[in-house]
Every structure is written in C-alpha cells, then in structure tokens.
Structure 1
C-alpha cells in the first residue's frame, strides 16, 4: 500500500509511543480516510467506528484472559469471569486475532452464530458474524447496537481488509489502561472527523469538544446523577468522566443517564461509552424525550444538553397539560423552551444544568416565549448566560448561547446569588482551526469557567469576582426587567475599556482627519486616471 504508507507508519509510530497530543489520532484518521475511496463519510463512519469498537473489546478481553490464566482457580473460558471485571465476553470467532488472520479472506467457512450452521463468507461476512456473536454473548448491554452490514456486496472488501490491518497495531503491546485510552481517543477523534466531513448532518450526533468542555468545566460534575435528554454520540458523558479523572475523583460516584431518538446515533453512543469503559443507562425510542420521557420520575444533579435548534415538529396533543411546563406551555412551533422546561423539571433540589440553544432563545417574544422567559427569571431558575461566537458547530454557522439553570442558587456550597444572573460575553473568544470552524482554546475555557466559579464562590474565594466591561456582568433581576427580560449578554456587559495610550482625544481626531484627506486625494487622482483612460476607448472597435 505505497500510497498510504507514510500516513500508516506515522499513525502506528504514534500509537506505539503513546500518541502524543493529537498526532496519533490525526494520522490514524488520515490513513483510514484514504481507504474509503468513493464511500460517503456518513456511511463509512459506521464501518470504521464499528471496527475500532471490535478492536477495543477484543483487546480488553485478551488482557483479562492473560490475568485469569495466571490465577490458580480462575477459568479463562468462563464468561462470568469477564463480566465480573466489567469486560465483554468475546467469542472465538470475534477475537481480533481471528479477524487479522483472515483480513484478506475471500472464501472462508464459519459457523453462523445466529443459526449454528456452517456457511462460507469473505472478510465482510466474518465481521458481521463477529458482531452477531458479540451481541448474542452480551445481550443485556449490546443487543441491537453493533453494525452488521460489512458483508453487503457494495462494500469494498479490500478496503475492509486494509482497515483491519491498519487498526491491528493499536494497543497490541500496551497495558490495559493505555490500550483503552488509545482506542477511546481514536474513537472520539473519528467521531469529530466524520462530523466535520458530514457538515450539518454530522452536527446532529456530535457536539464539538471545546463546547462540551465549557459546559463540563462550569458545572463540575464530581458526584451524582448526570443526564442528557438528547445525548447524540455521548460526548457529554465522556467529558464528564474525564473531568472526574483529571480532578482525582472516583468514577463510581457518577451515574450516567441519557436518551436519544435517532437509533443510529444511539448505537454510536453505546459503542462510544463502551470503548471508554463507561457504564451508563442510555435509552432509545423513536418518539423522543418530550413524548416518551424514559426517566419521567428521575431527578438529576447535573444535566448537560445540546438539543437540536428551533425544532418545529415536536408538539403532540397529549402534551397540552404536561407537568413539565411549570413556566407555561411552550410554543408548538419551536421546541427551545420545551427543552429548557423539560430540563429544569428534571433537576434535583440542588441540581444545575447547562444547555446549548440558538441565540434567538435569549430575546424572542414570539408565541409566548417572552412570558416563559420572564417567569423563569422571576423564579430564579437562570444562573448564567454565555454568548458564544459563530462557527463553533458542525451543524450550523450561526452563533449559539449557553443557558445555565439552577434549582437553588444559594446551595451546593456556593455564594448566595439569588436575584442575580451572571452574563458572559464570549463572542470574541476562540480561534479558527480551519476555513469554516472555530474552537475554544484551554485558556478561553478557563476564562469562561473561572469567571463563573469566582462569581459563585464562597469561603476563601469570596469577593474575587469583579465585573469586567465588555466581558462579564452580574445583573440584578430589576436591571433585567428594565431590558424587557431579554437575556443577551451584550445588553449588560457594556463596552470594553480602551487602554489609555496617553494621546489626547483632539490629537487623535486631527490625525484621523489628515489620513482621511490623504486617502481622499489619492482616490480623486485615481478617478481622474480612470476617466482619462476610458475617454480613449472607441465603442465598436
């Protein structure tokens, strides 16, 4: 494979030395992307991610198997020895060593896991049988989750074999946690890469990492129940667990719950969490969280959500008197305030939530949205508003905002901020990472989250928060009422202070006049030259 050798070797070198930032993931994605040929990213996504998942669970199985073989009374062939260690049981047909050995198979006889009868397959059919066998052996967790269409005639079997060989070197000689981290990072990076390639459609299943990090760093989900009512591919949950690990917490202190309406995206989420070793209760139904709330009687300590913006077809007649509409019935033509109401309803007595919504939600007066917003403000349901820059999302170029809701603004060890809302103007933050998309840097995230935490602080940090003109403002509800209960941060933070350079205002104006006079004179001279040139042109020649 000479045309892909360079990317291939770089990726494998990165994998063997531990990856190093994003070099390993980027090179691996580049090498894998070259293999897809004319296959659309939306279709190829499931091919590549399914194989990364297979590689992960097979590696985890083999590591546990080695441990069991060293134990005197353990049975390496007992599936319960694996499930007790939170490792998937992998039947022999599905072990990566078998897939790697048959990566170029064109006519292989296997025993069909579904029927128990022999049949002949190529590498695609072998992978389908592997997926089927894994689901059958782990029904409680994986039933209906894994892709099983690798054997279809339209799929290039040379490409599948190439992918199997590409992924074969990842983690093969690493310790368990290193293997999990490498494959988890690869899965997450591939999700991001496919979201970028798919554009708007890709944004429906993936929230950009830096946006998720802002939400997580502001809410700090150390302990309790975490919920996402439209969880996509599970990025909120992955970042929450990363946060706990980075700050020395215990992962067992966090319980994760989610719901997703799109079955394909739900399957991506289940695989994403499994690759990360994250235990979660993720529900799917095709009616969605409004019509069929899978956790109707559960309250959560933290809720993180990036709902689809401005959904117009969400309403059903049976929602008319729903208990969730405590601030008023949301308009039938836009689900933004339905999401806010649903999320607030599910907050525990001291719960907090972070929600991504379209900018219009901060100021809209249509169909009673202004009245609902006013009632939320009067009820002290809103803790903080953050205005985001444009071009952060794969699915839309329009600017969005973050709503932070709280059940009790005097609780959770925080300073009493009842009767106030913090406004953060972050539209000028972030940097362009490519021609169409912006991303927050770690410093940007710290600036936003740090401001919020100083505002909420008690104890030693009490009094450290200060309003910063042009960036943040703590506003009283009375001030917000004067603005017609509009929550756009720009209305409250004012203009940034201009640094005094010692030049008097009169001197600046005089200098500006001189420069304008020169530019006007140059413009007039250029105009005369153009007219002179045009006067010599004869029509019809």
Structure 2
C-alpha cells in the first residue's frame, strides 16, 4: 500500500464531518439576499466577496502578528513583509473593516467602493490582474442588499491552523456546489462533484510532479481534494500545476479558487480554447486530471483536426471524446498517468472512426484501468459516465516510493455501478468507504505489496487479447461477470411451507385489524 493513503482519508472524513453548518447558513442568507438576480450573475458577486473577505482577514492576521513582535512591528506597514509570506498586500481601500463601515451608509455607495477595492487589489498584486469581479455598482444590483451581504459575511472569520484555508475552502466549495445546482446544466461547465474528484485523486495520487488539467473549470481537480491540499501545503515545491479554461468568467473563478488555497498555478496568461490555442504546447505532465465536456460536438475546425496530437486517428467533428483522450496522451510524460471522466459511450462507440481510435490506444497498451460509475453523481446530467486511467508505462518500477507490478498487456476493469448513496432525491454521492474500496482495489492490482484477486461482479484483470476478442469494447460489465448468488440450502417444500404459514399469519392479522377498525367506526356512529 502506498504511504500516506490513510491520512488523506482521515482528512477527507474530518472535512465531511465539518461541512454543512456554517456553509449552509451563509448560503441560505446570501441566496435570499440575491432576490431575482440570476444565479450565474450572483455567483460572481458572492464568490468575489468571499475572496475579498478571506484575503483581508489573512492580511489583518499577519499584521497583528507583526505588531506583536518588536522586531517586526516597524515593518507592519511594509508591503514586502506580506508578499514574502505569501499574503496578498491589501491597501486600506480594500480592507474589510473599511467596507463594512460604509456598507449601510444613508446614501448607498458600497458597490462603487467594492469596485474600487477590487481595482486597487489588482494594482497591488500582479497575480490578480484581470481576475476580480468589478461590477458591484451596476444599477440592477440592489445596494442595500449588497450592504446586507457585507454584514452577513462579516460574521465569518477566516482564521485557523491553515490560515483560514480550511474554513474558506469549505465555504467556497459549498457555494460552488450550490451555484452548480441553481444554474442547472450550465453549472456543469465549472464544477465537478467532489466525490468524483476524490476518487480520481485517491487512485492517481498526484502529489509529486507536474499536474495538468486542460479543461480545469473552477479548478476543482486541484482544490476539492483535502488530500491534495494537504500534500501541496506540506511539500509545496514538489507539485507544479498547469491548467487551461476557455470560459473567461470560469477562468477567473479558477484563479480565485487557487489563490485562496495558496496554490500557485499556471493557468496561462488568459482564457483560451485548449484545442484551438494550447497554452502549454511543450508540457509533458506526470499527471493529467480532467473532466472534459461530455460528447462535445462544437470542438472542431479543419485547422484543429490536423496536427501532431492525433496519433491514433483524427477524432470525428461530431464528438470530442477521443480528441480529449489523445490530447491527454499528447501531454503525458514518459512515465505519466492520466485519470479523467468520460461518457460511457466512449467505451463502446464504433461511430465515425471512434472504435478504430480506441483499438489503437488499447493496442498501444495505454489503458491502465476503467471504472464504471453509478448514475446521478452529477448535478447537471444523467448520462452514465466512467473513469479512464491511462499509463505511458505499465512495467514494473518505482513510483512515489512504491514498487509497481509489471502490468504490461493487462487492464483492470472495475464495475462500481452498485456503489454510492442517495444524498438527495436526485443526487448520489460516493461515500468514503466506496472511494476507498475502488482505490484500494486499483492499488492492490498495481502495487507489488497489494493482494489483488478478481471479484465476480466487481473487478477483473484482463489481458489485451481478451479485450481484442470482444471487439476492443471497454465496458467493465463485459469482463467482471456477475456476483455469485448466495447459497440457499432451503428445499422447495420447506420454503413453500414457510411462505404459506407467513401468508396465513398476515391474512389473520389483516382480518383482526379490519374488525378493530369496524368497531372503532361503530363507536362513533359509523358502523356497518
């Protein structure tokens, strides 16, 4: 078993236990304050203010520490003191106490003050340039309600052992999730369910090297996993993060989401479409983590469909699934691994040359593991999805201080469709136990210290020849079989006798209850 896995699970459990109270309270109040504003617009109002509150709290905390130290006290108003400790320099016009003091003035100007605060922050901190929302003074945003939001968020203090990042991370993540629900299908463009991210991270363990997400949304692959944050904070220089996002507002969300976690990332100098303008053309990543748009039909152009990325075949213009797969492969280092979400159709489609592309990828021995997921894990779609894991090198070796088995010519299939618990009427989540079961199965199969065995109905290790015999289809259900039925030693006669006796007892109990009801009705003058 790889070192550190248990600690991460414990951290995730602590996070889950700590989650709903303060976040849900803030959301309920803030959502009421937004009135008739569309969730997609209000998202940037609320999340921008949360970001502003955090960096102001962090600044004030560092200033208090400086003033308490005689040697640092003379530097308390020096910008370099804060920048050197990875704390944003916050000018007076952007400090929360100043905004709170002006939030409920008789002549509401709070929106203009917030816009100016955002401009001043960007001017003082180059990494925030072009990132922050600056339209709080627009007429359609009720200034009185905006002042109410300022007062509401003033009750939250981002201070704890991790400089407020744990508290802030949970609040920010909760708000992102709630906005994803409120926005419906559009919300899926920036948000991936946390349990899916945790499963990907538990299996890949991307804690050392270059991590890449070419469709990063709001940065969830980098920050939603408590383990990833802990590992990154513990050994900051061990991890380099690269990402790209085509939607300008979502790109800004990602920049803020990473900044509040103290995670340095290269998301490119701007937002850009990955296929048309790859901002990291020479990158060879140790890990790729991604949740690309499902079955995207608007990805292509004649220019894009030429080039060095399509080694295994030109993807069809009607579906980007295998464009994404080949883009991931293109950016993998010689020993790199990738884990990503795709629609189930990618496992078996034969349309428009997709079957041929999949066959060539399998024949190149790149497919490490396929996991079928249960339905209803996403806010925005009921399309059945799966996880793909690709590896440039499936031979034995040493990765992350863990010795690996030689799995060349083999692929692990895991059917996890029966896992998960309903969190709401329409949303299912993978529990920590579910995530642990799938991840441990994978690591037991991949690592020399693990005790792996095929389990009917759940997992199977399959040779490439057997996959070829099934037409290069990668649907796990075709390989894992069905779970063995429980043995039943009860004979037919005994069973019928038992069931008949149970039925007789139920009929007698029904007659007794009918008599009781008739008697009760007769007692109030309604007998028959």
Q: Which residue of 1 aligns with 2:79?
A: 79
Q: Which residue of 2 aligns with 1:150?
A: 136
Query: CA 1:499 to 1:91, structure 2 compared with 1: closer, same or farther past 3 Å?
Result: same
Query: What do you get for the CA RMSD once the two structures are aligned?
Result: 2.4
1:165 to 133, 146, 151: 151
Shift of 1:323: 1.0
Q: Which residue of 2 aligns with 1:353?
A: 338
Shift of 1:320: 3.6
1:446 corresponds to 2:446:
no
1:499 corresponds to 2:464:
no
Q: Note if contact 1:331-1:367 (Cα within 8 Å) is conserved in structure 2.
A: yes
Shift of 1:253: 1.1
TM-score (norm 1): 0.85
Q: Which residue of 1 aligns with 2:50?
A: 52
Shift of 1:32: 1.7
Distance 1:251 1:496 in 2: 44
Distance 2:269 2:283 in 1: 16
Q: Deviations over 1:140-179 (max 9, x none)?
A: x11111011110111111221111111112126x446252
Q: Which residue of 2 aligns with 1:122?
A: 109
Distance 2:81 2:296 in 1: 47
Q: Deviations over 1:426-446 (max 9, x none)?
A: 111111111211111101100
Taking the TM superposition and a 5 Å limit, the aligned residue runs for 1:95-134 are 95-107=95-107, 122-134=109-121
Q: Which residue of 1 aligns with 2:196?
A: 211
Q: Note if contact 1:362-1:486 (Cα within 8 Å) is conserved in structure 2.
A: yes
Taking the TM superposition and a 5 Å limit, the aligned residue runs for 1:335-346 are 335-346=320-331
Q: Which residue of 1 aligns with 2:521?
A: none
TM-score (norm 2): 0.87
Equivalent position SS for 2:262: coil
2:290 to 277, 289, 305: 305
Q: Note if contact 1:221-1:244 (Cα within 8 Å) is conserved in structure 2.
A: no
Of the two structures, which has the highest relative contact order with CA contacts closer than 8 Å and spacing of 6 or more? 2
2:354 to 352, 369, 386: 369
Equivalent position SS for 1:199: helix
Equivalent position SS for 2:71: coil
Q: Deviations over 1:306-334 (max 9, x none)?
A: 00011112112223431111111111211
Pick which of 223-232 and 321-330 moved more. Answer: 321-330
Q: Which residue of 2 aligns with 1:480?
A: 467
Pick which of 23-32 and 288-297 moved more. Answer: 23-32
Q: Note if contact 1:385-1:404 (Cα within 8 Å) is conserved in structure 2.
A: yes
Distance 1:78 1:305 in 2: 40
Task: Name the count of aligned residue pairs.
Answer: 481
1:263 corresponds to 2:248:
yes
Shift of 1:338: 0.4
Equivalent position SS for 2:77: coil
Distance 1:170 1:505 in 2: 66
Shift of 1:241: 6.4
Q: Deviations over 1:173-229 (max 9, x none)?
A: x44625232122111110011111111111110000000001000001121111100
Q: Note if contact 1:106-1:123 (Cα within 8 Å) is conserved in structure 2.
A: no
Which ranges of structure 2 fall in alignment gaps of 5 or more residues?
1-15, 504-528
2:40 to 39, 42, 46: 42
Distance 2:283 2:290 in 1: 16
Q: Note if contact 1:327-1:372 (Cα within 8 Å) is conserved in structure 2.
A: yes
Distance 1:242 1:65 in 2: 29
Q: Which residue of 2 aligns with 1:277?
A: 262
2:419 to 429, 438, 453: 429
Q: Which residue of 2 aligns with 1:3?
A: none
Q: Which residue of 1 aligns with 2:30?
A: 32
Shift of 1:64: 1.6
Q: Which residue of 2 aligns with 1:12?
A: none
Equivalent position SS for 2:408: coil
Equivalent position SS for 2:199: helix
Pick which of 315-324 and 158-167 moved more. Answer: 315-324
Distance 1:363 1:510 in 2: 48
Q: Deviations over 1:429-470 (max 9, x none)?
A: 111111211111101100111110101011x33xx1111111
Q: Note if contact 2:244-2:271 (Cα within 8 Å) is conserved in structure 1.
A: no
Distance 2:50 2:58 in 1: 12
Shift of 1:512: 9.6
Q: Which residue of 2 aligns with 1:419?
A: 409
Which ranges of structure 1 fall in alignment gaps of 5 or more residues?
1-17, 108-120, 517-541
Q: Note if contact 2:115-2:137 (Cα within 8 Å) is conserved in structure 1.
A: yes
Q: Which residue of 2 aligns with 1:253?
A: 238
